[in-house]
Amino acid sequence: MTDINSADLNGFQSLTKRNFTNMKFSHVTTPEKGNSSSLVFSSQVAQTETAVKNGVAGFIVLEKIYDQVKPLFSDKHCVWTTKQINAAMVEVLAVFDRTTKEGGIHPSAIVHATAKIGKQVRIGEYAVIKEHVIIGDHTIISAHVVIESYCEIGALCRIASHTTIGSDGFGYYTDKNFAHHKIPQIGKVVIEDHCDLGSHCSVDRATLTETRIKAGSKLDNFCH
């Protein structure tokens, strides 16, 4: 992985530069596991003390504790503060993300000729994209995902491994003899923009119209 220069973090809205030194970071880790090439997040005084003892040089510190930990730092340290650690993680961890950023379809994926794939879409190993599927720009479809016919996925979505979109809904008619008759599920699934679905999720298609996941929705693993 390419090292990240400390100057690359100065433009982030979530960070305030406090004690800047030009240096390079090879990774982000916890204060307890940090070393001289680490960048760490610290929300507690004790965490900061531990990281300094471990020789950590790069710190993103919760703003409300900065006055307490400031004496721990020297000109060998590079320090930013943040009002919200999680807000800083959104920006900073993206820089260190090892996953591939470029779009592309893995050779093992099966994509039907009628599917419409947007710009910079990434489709992982052994994914199956069926007839007339629409996938918006910059969406990530991970390995072994199945998207059934006529389903629509918005832009900037992330669908994790082994999730199925548009699977057959559980629709049956039970007659007077208690025999179960399958009702064809001929609808589809529409997932709007900026949605994240974890691994092993299943979103059934509707009987007649559509199952819709609204923009910005986040589903954890194993949701149905």
DSSP per position, 25-58: ESEEE-GGG--TTEEEEE-SHHHHHHHHHTT--E
Expressed in percent and rounded to 5, the helix, strand and coil fractions of the chain are: 15, 30, 50
Amino acid, single-letter form, for residue 48: T
CATH number of 4-96: 3.40.1390.10
CATH topology of domain 104-219: UDP N-Acetylglucosamine Acyltransferase; domain 1 (2.160.10)
Virtual torsion, Cα 125, 131, 133, 137, nearest 10 deg: 60
Return the domain boundaries, the chain.
4-96, 104-219
Tens-digit pLDDT string for the chain (224 aa): 568 999 999 999 999 999 999 999 999 999 999 999 999 999 999 999 999 999 999 999 999 999 999 999 999 999 999 999 999 999 999 888 877 667 899 999 999 999 999 999 999 999 999 999 999 999 999 999 999 999 999 999 999 999 999 999 889 999 999 999 999 999 999 999 999 999 999 999 999 999 999 999 999 999 98
Angle at 152 between CA 147 and CA 153, to 5 degrees: 80
Q: What is the pLDDT of residue 108?
A: 97
pTM: 0.77
